[in-house]
Structures are given as structure tokens and as C-alpha cells.
Amino acid sequence: MGTLYYGDARAAIAIGDRELAHLRVVMISKLRRKEPFAFSWSKPASESADRSTIWVSSDTLLEFEFDEKGTPELNRQWLEHLSQAASSAAGLSLVPEPEASR
């Protein structure tokens, strides 16, 4: 299980390593182009809120921390889907990886 740290306070968002690797590519691509976006995720049942959303811009401090060694092979179809979502009014959210391309 990886962790995405957000902001100066290093708010921790737990995300699986494979998912985090894909999110990292999409987020860094958007930030390189100076394109801010919203990122939403579902929280574990043990937390009081069901979903959270953060605003991510080039001023945002992000750290991607992976538990597993090495980088997984990336699914281009999933990256494209996540990239399109990040550019939409609804923003980026973690959706299941398409099985056919895995």
C-alpha cells in the first residue's frame, strides 16, 4: 500500500502501489503543463467521511511513497482514461483498472 502526501501538512492518502504509480504519471503530466485539477477518492469504511476531494495545482506539494520495490508496468488505456478524467469538470478520481489491458 502506497501513500500520497498532500500539502505542507503532509496529509496522507493511502492508495495501492499500482494505482499510485498510474496516478503519479497523470498528476505529474498535468502539473508540468500547469493545469490544476481536482482529485477525489473513496475513504476506507473505518473513516467517518465516504469521499474526499482536494485541489491540486503547481503550488501543491505532493510526495508519492511506494511500499513495493520497482515500478509496475503501466497500462496505457488506464492512463488515458485517468488523464481524460483529470481534464474534465468532475476531475480525477481513481477508477478500476480496465481488465483487458492488464
Residue whose entry in the numeric block shows the C-alpha cell 515500478: 71
Q: What is the pLDDT of residue 102?
A: 47
- Give the DSSP H/E element, type plus range, for residue 84: helix 76-86
Q: Among 24-33, 38-47, 79-88, name the one with the lowest average pLDDT.
A: 38-47
The answer on pLDDT for 42 being more than 50 is: yes
Q: Whole-prediction pTM value?
A: 0.87
The answer on pLDDT for 32 being more than 90 is: yes
Considering the chain, what is the average pLDDT of its residues? 89
Average pLDDT for 30-50:
85
- Residue 7 — very low, low, confident or very high, per pLDDT cuts 50/70/90? confident
Report whether 26 contacts 79 (CB < 8 A).
yes
